[in-house]
Amino acid sequence: MLSGANMLAWLTDNAPECDVVVSTRIRLARNLADIPFPARIRRMEDIEAVHSRARECLTKSPTFTYERLSDLTELDKRALVEGHVISSDLARSKYGGLITSADQSLSVMIMEEDHYRLQGLGAGMSLFATYNLVDKLDQMLASEVNYAFSDELGFLTSCPTNVGTGMRASLMLHLPALSAVKGIPRISQMIGKMGMTVRGAFGEGSTAAGAFYQISNQVTLGVTEKEILMHLLSIANKVIDFERNARKELYSNMGMALEDKIWRAVGTLKYARRISDAEAQKLISDVAFGVSLGIVTGITSGQLYRIMMNARPAILASASGPQQAQDRDAVRADMLRQAFS
């Protein structure tokens, strides 16, 4: 069930604002009232209780399956990290668990930094719809387990940065034009002042491969869930406007030079024999830029985002099988050639 078949089915075509917004993610941090938080948990029976209470409650619904992280292969775990289903911390954890819906759009990480991290993923700008799903999951769990909660401080979390709503809402944005005009530092600064953060969605360090960025809320206490969503929405809408204007501006200034760059990306994806992960992201980013300007037709941004995710190293390797792992860049180029032919 962890094979790539169903994975990413949630990343649909024609999602709202999909020319700029790749996906929406909402996470809720929750803990049990009567058991120490994961960093302080000592007794095996406590760890078992954290697992079993969520498992017993949620797997009553046939939608959800439960897995122990220790039962997964390294490759499975890495693919889940790349698909943003689990964190790399959970992938490393000895006592972690995972509950997922069939398409992995809803999940619960067990024994990460908090006992439970509930997560919802949605295509494009879908803050409200995704929140509604996660909130239902939260209600399901709350009907059977006793959360650590205080009237004054809300949901109690391992790290004080998450206390209150325990909620982190984030949007993955594709900002090729703002990156090209070196506008990201200014946007980050502006967003930072409004209690949100921006960081590269892929790759480590400052350079985001393919101009994909994640923006999310920082403050979780003293604001309602709805306020967090509304605030993120209004800031994201501003960034989307900036990006769309920058795209038009860039096209009117560069004209043919931009078209050339985009068609070269298409050409490479169609015919190259070896493509690295970072190059694939860059090329697909260029093509997605071309689609939004109407230069490239016959493919949607949703399709492009799915292809990009499927080109990630571990997701690619779990789909293509271990026998082909020797030359992953060649396998990736094969997959991309098929996708773009």
Partner 1 sequence: MLCDQCLKNAATVHMTTFVNGQVKTVHLCSQCAAKKKGSVAIPWFSFNDFFSAFYDEEEGSDVVCEGCGTTLANFTKEGRLGCARCYETFKSSLMPILKSIHMNTRHTGKRPGEAVVVEPGREAALSEVEQRKEQLKKKLREAVAVENYEEAARLRDEIALLEKEGG
**154-155 and 167-174 strand pairing:** unpaired
Residue from 14, 73, 88, 161 touching partner 1 (CB under 8 A): that is 161
Nearest alpha-carbon partner for 35 in 51, 24, 50: 50
Q: Does 224 bind partner 1 (CB under 8 A)?
A: yes
Cβ neighbours for 246, distance < 8 A, ≥ 6 positions apart: 177, 178, 180, 181, 183
- Pick the closer one to partner 1 by CB: 135 or 259: 135
Residue from 185, 192, 222, 255 touching partner 1 (CB under 8 A): that is 222
- Residue 300, helix vs strand vs coil: coil
| Rounded Cα gap, residues 194 and 145, in angstroms | 35
Q: Does 253 bind partner 1 (CB under 8 A)?
A: no
Q: Work out how close the CB of 266 gets to partner 1 at its nearest, in angstroms, rounded to a whole number.
A: 30
Q: Work out how close the CB of 217 gets to partner 1 at its nearest, in angstroms, rounded to a whole number.
A: 11
Q: Does 96 bind partner 1 (CB under 8 A)?
A: no
Residue from 128, 244, 293, 319 touching partner 1 (CB under 8 A): that is 128
Q: Work out how close the CB of 324 gets to partner 1 at its nearest, in angstroms, rounded to a whole number.
A: 32
- Pick the closer one to partner 1 by CB: 71 or 151: 151
- HSE (side-chain half, CA atoms, 13 Å) at 172: 23
Alpha helices in the chain (DSSP H): 44-58, 74-82, 88-92, 127-142, 176-180, 184-193, 225-254, 256-271, 277-292, 301-310, 313-320, 328-340
**64-68 and 149-150 strand pairing:** unpaired
- Among the listed ranges 84-92, 234-242, 257-265, 298-306, the one in contact with partner 1 (CB under 8 A) is 234-242
Q: Work out how close the CB of 322 gets to partner 1 at its nearest, in angstroms, rounded to a whole number.
A: 30
**Residues making contact with partner 1 (CB under 8 A):** 16-17, 31, 33-37, 39-40, 113, 125-129, 131-132, 135, 139, 142-143, 146-161, 163-165, 167, 219-226, 229-230, 233-234, 237-238, 240
